[in-house]
Structure 1
Amino acid sequence: MSVAHRRTDAPSAHARVLAGAERATGPHDFFRLTSAALRRLVPFDSAVWAATDPETGLITAPMLVENLGPREDCAAYWESELLEENVLPFRDLARAAVPVAGLRAATGDLPARSARFRRLLRSQGVADELRAVLRTGDRPWAVISLFRTGDGAAFGPDETTLLAGLSAPLASRLRRFARPSPSDGAADGSPPGLVLFDPSGEPTSINEEARQHLARLPEGPSIPTPLGLRLPIWLVTTALQARAIARGRERAGGARTRIRTVDGRWLTCHASCLSGPGGRPGPVALVIEPAAAADRAVLMAEAYGLTPRELQITLLVTRGLPTAEIAATLFISPHTVRDHLKAVFGKAEVSSRGELVARLFAGHHRPV
């Protein structure tokens, strides 16, 4: 498809894209509606939309893949992202002043400078890739790759600027879907699951607990394994990140991501690279287990946009501390505590401490 360069009135374009996002009933629907609205303003042939853990930036559920090749290619794409030296890695875009950039613009119209392009994109007929991180402050909530194929024109500076202006407002809307809902499952005390990968990244063994956790994950891209099951790409990338850390690459928050199950519970997936004989890289151990209460609390704080101080106060509220004790604990005045609580109530759309605790930890035990 040949795509002509076009100029768009940014405020009007933003309003149209955000209007579609507001109609979304969930994060996957959010990606679908936003992608459809954006395609009319910034034409593209295929795309990948992936939610990310706001603390580590690793991908998590859901992921929307539009008009791309076999799903097995998805694993190769993320392997290149995490293990190879590349142009415009998402970890750099997440920290950049402008969290959006085009591959051809970044390489002086020589995309073959990118290992990702040489290894994967060129063979798929990709002409250019526009990457974006949806973030609020320094917290990434999603990553996007838009592709033009064939004789498609390179993504232009006005298209980059348009998408950059949507980063924060789209992230703000997307993070709402991480908030608890009345339909969420009760607190889960099931034991951890374990998956082992050999040094080359091939999964070699899995316990029954891991199989049970995998059965509760939402549908999405996955890869076949010799274990008789398909592993979701979110687990595969966590194991890849552990290998990247073992090689001394950017840590980017560690090899850890949180995934929401189909019944509204949260699982934490974390991986580490073990040492082999002589200190050589050994297998990767990946653990998937119910998210701890404190871990969920931090995620909920991110979902509601609480500041670090507001989160501190909220956690003390969940422990039943009165205003005076909270003030003494944090070495601030009771008046300041009340001001912070007022801000927290506004963000969480509640009017009392009891409502706040119920809203943040609905269906789950409070942190202790």
Structure 2
Amino acid sequence: MRNGVLAAAERATDAYELFGRVSAGLGRQVPFDAAVWTAADPETGLITAPMRVENLGTGEGCAEYWESELLEENVLPFRELARATVPAAGLRAATGDLPARSSRFRRLLLGLGVHDELRAVLRIGERPWGLVSLLRTARTPQTAAAFGPDEVALVAGLSRPLAERLRTFARPRGVGPATGRPGPGLILFDASGEATSINDEARQLLALLPDGPSFPTPLGLRLPIWVIGTALQARAVAGGHDRGEARVRIRTTEGRWLTCHASALTAAGGRPGPVALVIEPAGPADLGVLVAQAYGLTSRELQITQLVARGTTTTEIAATLFISPHTVRDHLKTVFTKADVSTRGELTARLFTEHYWPVAVAGRRSA
């Protein structure tokens, strides 16, 4: 059973297709009526593109679902499952068959007729690459029952192999030419979470994001759930619900990466203020971490790879890192294997050059 699902995952050409293939195969073994499959930023655990929502109508409740996840006390939050011994669990089993103990169930799932929810984190170590929510209603005898231990164990066993497959889709791929590096975009949200202001750069960058659940705003545009989720995380951190970072990387339709980060401001008298969200092309620091995660590089391997990209010789790398040239060469052999390249030039092109936004012409002239 497990092998069939993994074989379907191997045939996928991107993360969205992977979610669809795995969902179809898994549904024959672990019946469910609706599902949410989403990629996650492995650094922060926040949702990112793509997201696949199945059998939940228009998905208008999607923002409410993630608002509850981040701002309310809940049973089985994804951030805890990411660190749990077993990365999957059923809501009814976790609450002693009292799912209303979960704010998420009371606020949203009950009204949708949901009987039970099975949640899983697709992770490597404690780094989440995907999040899964499988929902059962009472539509059929099969889905009127709670998720059982064997079903939870099957989904948990898929966590690492599916995360490893998702990780491959975060790797660089050939991208077409771009006209220049856009400036930072800014979106302001009021204390209730409503988007109130936006600059032209943000509109330009939002237009590059892939399709997915999005929601209307008074600004005359729809904001994707990944942007809304980042703003919600900033409110969660400010309110003491989480100590994580409100930061997520999102891949554009062209294959380049954007970084979206937010923080809650303080108004006069210490009152909660607006949330400022910045969306901009991912810089070298973000890309370096992303490359390391996508290829499974250790911190030392990433250091060496970054020095190689700068044209540093083996002897110079050894002196910089206080290790022997022989150790540098051993690390490079491992990096070549992980990146499936055979030369330094190929390594630099694959891991770095294809990620970068070109420098704007105006920026070069003013430098």
If the length of structure 2 is used for normalisation, what is the TM-score? Answer: 0.94
Deviation for aligned residue 1:85 = 0.4
Range 188-197 or range 178-187, more displaced: 178-187
Partner SS for 1:130: strand
- Which runs of structure 2 are paired with 1:337-348 in the superposition (5 Å)? 337-348=328-339
Structure 1: gaps spanning 5 or more residues: 1-12
Which ranges in structure 2 are unaligned for 5 or more consecutive residues? 358-367
In structure 2, how many angstroms separate the alpha carbons of the residues matched to 1:363 and 1:116?
A: 41
**Residue in 1 that maps onto 2:234:** 242
Larger displacement relative to structure 2 (299-308 or 99-108): 299-308
Give the SS at the match of 1:310: helix
Q: Which residue does 1:6 correspond to in 2?
A: none
1:78 maps to which of 30, 47, 66 = 66
Residues of 2 paired with 1:185 and 1:85: CA distance? 46
Aligned mates of 2:278, 2:313 — CA distance in 1: 38
Counterpart contact for 2:47–2:229, Cα < 8 Å: yes
Task: State how far apart, in whole Å, the 2-side matches of 1:360 and 1:256 are.
Answer: 22
Paired residue secondary structure (1:285): strand
Deviation at 1:71, TM superposition (A): 2.1
Among 283, 291, 299, the alignment partner of 2:290 is 299
Verify: 1:130 aligned to 2:118, yes or no: yes
Q: Which residue of 2 aligns with 1:7?
A: none
* Distance in 2 separating the partners of 1:114 and 1:262: 36
Alignment of 1:58-73 (within 5 A): 58-73=46-61
Contact 1:17 1:34 in 2 (8 A): yes
2:74–2:104 Cα contact (<8 Å) kept: yes
**What residue in structure 2 maps to residue 52 of structure 1?**
40
**SS of match in other structure, 1:328:** helix
In structure 2, what is the equivalent of residue 277 of structure 1?
A: 268
The aligned residue for residue 193 of structure 2 is 201
TM-superposed deviation, 1:152: 1.4
Per the alignment, residue 354 of structure 1 pairs with: 345
Cα distance in 2 between the residues matched to 1:330 and 1:283? 44
The CA distance in 1 between the partners of 2:32 and 2:204, in whole Å, is 38
In the TM superposition, what whole-angstrom CA distance separates every residue of 1:244-294 from its partner, at most 9, and x where no partner exists? 110122223x00001111111111000000000111110000110011023
Matched length: 354
**Any idea what the Cα deviations from partners look like across 1:311-345, whole Å, max 9, x if unmatched?**
11111111111112212222222222111111110
Q: Deviations over 1:202-261 (max 9, x none)?
A: 101111111111111101001111111110000000000000110122223x00001111
Q: What is the match of residue 315 of structure 1?
A: 306
Cα distance between partner residues in 1 of 2:109 and 2:240: 26
8 Å CA contact 1:195–1:210 kept in 2: the answer is: yes
C-alpha distance in 2 between matches for 1:234 and 1:272? 15
Q: Which runs of 4+ in 1 moved over 6 A?
A: none
Contact 1:186 1:265 survives alignment (8 Å)? no
Q: State the alpha-carbon separation in 2 of the partners of residues 186 and 30 from structure 1.
A: 28
Q: How far did 1:187 drift? A: 8.6
1:80-229 map, 5 Å: 80-150=68-138, 152-183=144-175, 185-186=177-178, 188-229=180-221
Give the whole-Å Cα distance in 2 for the aligned partners of 1:240 and 1:284.
Answer: 9
Contact 1:184 1:362 in 2 (8 A): no
Q: CA deviation at 1:297?
A: 2.2
Name which of 3, 9, 28 aligns with 1:21: 9
Calculate percent identity across the aligned residue pairs: 71
Q: Which residue of 2 aligns with 1:31?
A: 19
Instruction: Report what 2:365 is aligned to.
Output: none
* RMSD of aligned residue pairs (Cα, Å): 1.5
Task: Please say if residues 88 and 155 of structure 2, whose CA atoms lie closer than 8 Å, have aligned partners that are also in contact.
Answer: yes
Partner residue of 1:261?
Answer: 252
Paired letter, 1:84: E
In the TM superposition, 1:324-343 aligns within 5 A as: 324-343=315-334
Name which of structure 1's ranges 83-92 and 323-332 shifts more when overlaid on structure 2: 323-332
Per-residue Cα deviation, 1:98-136 (whole angstroms, up to 9, x for no partner): 111110010001000000000000110000000000011
1: CA distance, partners of 2:126 / 2:178: 31
